[in-house]
Structure 1
Amino acid sequence: MTEETTPTADPAATPEQAAMKMQILAQFTRDMSFENIVAQKGLQSSDVQPEMQVQVSLDAKKRNVENQYEVICKFKVTAKNKNGETPLYLLELDYGGIFHIEGVPADQLHPFLLIECPRQLFPFVRRIVSDVTRDGGFPPFNLDMVDFVALYRAELARRAEAQQAESTIN
């Protein structure tokens, strides 16, 4: 006698219990600019003692394909000379990724896109910044790790403050 079993539904297949899936479909440099101000102005490289400033901003949007999102990390790296604040170079990089994401609850999607996705892209951004600054005639600049959680929280606080200021004006 053989025993028949009926297939049971996989709990991971239900929307409430779906496993989170993330896949990087593509990565790309959307825009990049490097201005070597030392070379343009003819400054002596022996007088160069760089002081670095890094600005980071993020953007994410839904694509026309189901479960696909585009995330752009924007980095602006400014090097100024400590001996007088003379600008040395300016690097602007917009680096993007296209992600296929499933199983992330709707209320957690926004932070996921602006925290986890940039974390996946960051090593590539770091390499590009290092290579471009080295190829531009400067010591390679290795970006420090970016705390994307703190960046996200700061942006939420800035938006809340802007909304509060707007509501007090009206």
Structure 2
Amino acid sequence: MAETENGAAAAQPPQVKMNVLAQFVRDMSFENILAQKGASGEVQPDVTVQVNLDAKKRTADHQFEVVLKLRVDSKSKDAGEQLFLLELDYAGVFHIENVPDEQMHPFLLIECPRMLFPFVRRIVSDVTRDGGFPPLNLENIDFLALYRNELARRTAAAAQENEQTADA
């Protein structure tokens, strides 16, 4: 019976191993435009959040750097005037082993940002509060949906490009 268990264990693929080696703010900018203009009073904000991801292999074996780029733009609902602008590039260095090559790209752009996001959420909350606004608590980001949307966008763009070159 022990041989069967050992044989079954040997047939299983190796377990994915991931460690966060470092995480840090690569770049951050916060502009309190409302205070610069000298405006005061109650303002209803309209907040838009843009998310971009970047991943690259590092020179060390099994190390990758993933950067979550966030742009938070807040404008007044009534006049559309800029209240504040927050830009944040938050990076993580990951040691990843036993992920098949064909699955590495989605792993880097889905799983790694999931690990970084709670720290990004805290930074955004602290910076907006320290900048004179109520703390902005970001909703969870569905990185799987973001990844799928980007794949669909790229596929559509490639198809459109192929149609244009075929028509020429």
What is the TM-score with the length of structure 1 in the denominator? 0.90
* Structure 1 unmatched runs, 5+: 1-7
* 1:30–1:9 distance in 2 versus 1, CA, 3 Å: farther
Task: Report the number of matched residues.
Answer: 160
Correspondence list, 1:151-162, <5 A? 151-162=146-157
Query: Among residues 19, 35, 50, which one is paired with 1:39 in the alignment?
Result: 35
Q: Distance in 2 between matches of 1:23 and 1:137?
A: 36
Q: CA deviation at 1:55?
A: 0.5
Query: Among residues 56, 61, 67, which one is paired with 2:56 in the alignment?
Result: 61
2:3 alignment counterpart: none
Cα pair 1:11 1:18 within 8 Å, conserved: no
Q: CA deviation at 1:48?
A: 1.4
Q: Distance in 1 between matches of 2:64 and 2:86?
A: 26
1:5 alignment counterpart: none
AA matched with 2:19 = Q
AA matched with 1:50 = P
* Structure 2 unmatched runs, 5+: 1-5
Q: Deviations over 1:120-150 (max 9, x none)?
A: 0000000000000000000000000000000
Q: Deviations over 1:85-109 (max 9, x none)?
A: 1110000000000000001111111
Q: CA deviation at 1:56?
A: 0.4
Cα pair 1:67 1:101 within 8 Å, conserved: yes
Query: Among residues 26, 31, 52, which one is paired with 2:22 in the alignment?
Result: 26
Does 1:104 find its partner at 2:99? yes
AA matched with 2:112 = C
User: Between the two proteins, what is the percent identity of the paired residues?
Assistant: 61
1:94 alignment counterpart: 89
Q: Distance in 2 between matches of 1:107 and 1:39?
A: 49
1:83 alignment counterpart: 78
Which secondary structure does the structure 1 equivalent of 2:26 belong to? strand
Structure 1's consecutive aligned runs of 4 or more residues displaced over 4 angstroms after TM superposition are 8-12
Q: Deviations over 1:7-65 (max 9, x none)?
A: x89956x8x72110000000011110000000111111x23111110000101001111
AA matched with 2:30 = F
Q: CA RMSD in A?
A: 1.6
AA matched with 2:24 = F
